[in-house]
Amino acid sequence: MAAIFLFGVIFLRLGYIQVVWGKDLQARAADQWQRDLPVKAYRGDIVDANGNVLATTETGYSVYARPQSVDDAENTARILAEILQSDYGTVFEKITKRGVSEVTLKRQISVEQAEEIRGHSLQGIYLASEGLRSYVYGDMLSQVLGFVSSDGIGQTGLEAYYDKYLQGLNGLLLTETDLVGDELDGGSTSYVPAVNGLTVTLTVDAVIQSIAENVLDLAMYQQSPQAARCIVLDVTTGEILAMASKPGVDLNNLPRDDVEYLMKYSKNALLTDVYEPGSTFKVLTASACLEEYRNGNPRAFSAEHIFTNSSGIRIVDGSKISCWTKHANGKHSNQTLSDALNNSCNPIFTDIALSLGKETMYDYLERFGYGKPTGIDFAGEQSGILVPESAVTNGDLARIGFGQTIAVTALQLCMATAAAVNGGLLMRPYLVKEISDPMSGKTVKRFSPTVVGRAVSEETSKQIAEMLRRVVKEGGGKNANVEGYQVGGKTGTAQKFADGALAVGKYVSSFVGFFPSSSPKYLVLMIVDEPQGQSYGSIVAAPYAGLVIREIINYKQIAPLE
């Protein structure tokens, strides 16, 4: 009976091992008798809204060695060092290293190098195909696309944000070996194919992006600024049609050995950097004023209200706020809101902000999306800087009214201005339209316009668009005008801060425009950072925005409207 019981226990144990441990033990056995080389998945393409390829993956190779299988290590190291342009001693050390099954000699070599290695039939040396990331237009859209690491992993920009969709799944090449890693004669080789990444389709139009970048190059040449930046978007959907910054980086030739330079010029400053918007912000103050009057607020002003402004000066909390002009001969003395926008007169917007009060002004800051990220599909977006409402003084509030004592991102300003003229809706901006499987053609994920909230009524929005049309037709924005196309907009000139104080002679000049003003579709923001010479946005930024608008009209073959 004892013997029968003992055998029963043994059989139960064997059964338990086969059933419960079986898969794990099979895997361990396979690992002892197989060596694998990775088969790298090709990273998915990034294409523009029209299907034009912006980032793709070309065929490249990595070189591996199995030290146990290398024959004539000295000759092998000499040949490889010459082809790979590597140090002989380093190569020799790697291919003679003991205690490892495989060792990587070099990644991302060219097809020509791979063919040369293959031609030598070197024992124990293997090639594994992998993709080389290639950017069709080099430095175009560089801060938006971002780049990948040497391992093909997204590091910045959309390459990082959508990495899980782009990277794909790697495969394996399995070869039977003995316990010390030598290949078995007649051993089998099995192949587990890689699954390539998905295609990411942007909202960006490569033609409009090219227009923006060419105009920025012109601005850099003519104005010699620290930087020049541009955003083009569809105000009805929130789709980003172009997003460009100069200087940039060549994504095919990254300065990886100069990390400071790389990070400075590869970051998307339109989302990460904040600045005082200056007079472009007056669009919000004017919108708040009209909307509050429409809602019956006795502290608001109508479009017909006459602001008395004979001195052109306001004293608030002991600090003087002046208009940019001296008001000689009664100039700017009595103005409507439309006149104030047209003339960009700071004291009028001081009056409006102080009359509405901080609670109302901060309500509109929130409605227009200031003080929080826009929610764009991009990492690193900043929320801007607002003085806490509880800490706002009258002096702060007065300056907020005309775009000082507040810091915003360029994208926030774009979306807020779009909300002011598109019928009153704050939209969420987005850069990717859809993600699809290139093999099946099926859409995996699709993105649609998203309304964040209502900033103002349609009636107020229409009024603001008409007033801003006048700014371009008659006022400070006339250098952006395109005859017959109802361009509206607002200029801005803001002095920069450095080390906690105003920086003498350093300005951010800007213009935000849209067209057609009767039914807005396209919005263009142009920023020229620290131009040399003239600093007024009307002179420095507006003409370049006008060039972008004119070229979009030509590209889209838009017929004149007036």
Q: Tens of pLDDT along 144-196?
A: 999 999 788 999 999 999 999 999 888 766 555 544 445 545 555 566 777 89
d(CA 29, CA 57): 36
The verdict on residue 27 lying in a domain is no
Q: What does the pLDDT read at residue 110?
A: 81
Q: Which of 202, 219, 238 is the last residue of a domain?
A: 202
Calculate the CA 490 to chain-centre distance: 24
Catalytic residue among 62, 69, 266, 279: 279
Task: Check whether residue 519 and residue 405 sit in a common domain.
Answer: yes
Q: At what angle do helices 358-367 and 282-294 cross, to 10 degrees?
A: 110
CATH number at residue 350: 3.40.710.10
Going by DSSP bridges, is the β-strand pair 385-386/406-407 parallel, antiparallel, or unpaired?
A: antiparallel
279 is a catalytic site residue: yes
CATH number at residue 52: 3.90.1310.10
d(CA 102, CA 97): 9
Beta-bridged to residue 427, according to DSSP, are: 451
Q: What does the pLDDT read at residue 28?
A: 40
Q: What does the pLDDT read at residue 389?
A: 97
The verdict on residue 130 lying in a domain is yes
Task: Check whether residue 385 and residue 515 sit in a common domain.
Answer: yes
Rg (CA), the chain: 32
The verdict on residue 26 lying in a domain is no
Q: Extract the runs of DSSP E, i.e. beta strands, from 352-418.
A: 385-386, 406-407
Task: Check whether residue 178 and residue 271 sit in a common domain.
Answer: no
**Nearest by Cα to 300 from 352, 350, 359:** 352
Task: Check whether residue 191 and residue 314 sit in a common domain.
Answer: no
Task: Check whether residue 166 and residue 182 sit in a common domain.
Answer: yes
Q: Which domain holds residue 181?
A: 32-202
Task: Check whether residue 274 and residue 410 sit in a common domain.
Answer: yes
Task: Check whether residue 157 and residue 276 sit in a common domain.
Answer: no
Please give the full DSSP string across 159-210, using - where no structure is assigned: HHHTHHHHS-B-EEEEEEB-TTSPBPTT--EEEE--BPPPEEEES--HHHHH
Who's near 282: CB < 8 A, 6+ residues apart? 340, 341, 344, 349, 401, 402, 403, 490
Q: What does the pLDDT read at residue 41?
A: 83
Who's near 292: CB < 8 A, 6+ residues apart? 299, 300, 356, 360
The verdict on residue 15 lying in a domain is no
Q: What does the pLDDT read at residue 132?
A: 84
The verdict on residue 106 lying in a domain is yes
Task: Check whether residue 90 and residue 228 sit in a common domain.
Answer: no
Q: What does the pLDDT read at residue 175?
A: 55
Task: Check whether residue 211 and residue 331 sit in a common domain.
Answer: yes
Task: Check whether residue 337 and residue 458 sit in a common domain.
Answer: yes
The verdict on residue 438 lying in a domain is yes
**Which residues in the chain land under pLDDT 70?**
1-38, 172-191, 310, 326-332, 497-502, 562
Distances (CA, A) of 537 to 276, 441, 473, 529: 13, 46, 16, 10
Place of tokens 């293959």: 118
Task: Check whether residue 408 and residue 542 sit in a common domain.
Answer: yes
Task: Check whether residue 217 and residue 229 sit in a common domain.
Answer: yes
The verdict on residue 2 lying in a domain is no
The verdict on residue 561 lying in a domain is no
Q: Which of 133, 168, 202 is the last residue of a domain?
A: 202
When divided into structural domains, the chain yields a total of: 2
Calculate the CA 432 to chain-centre distance: 11
Q: What does the pLDDT read at residue 38?
A: 63
Q: At what angle do helices 206-223 and 542-556 cross, to 10 degrees?
A: 150
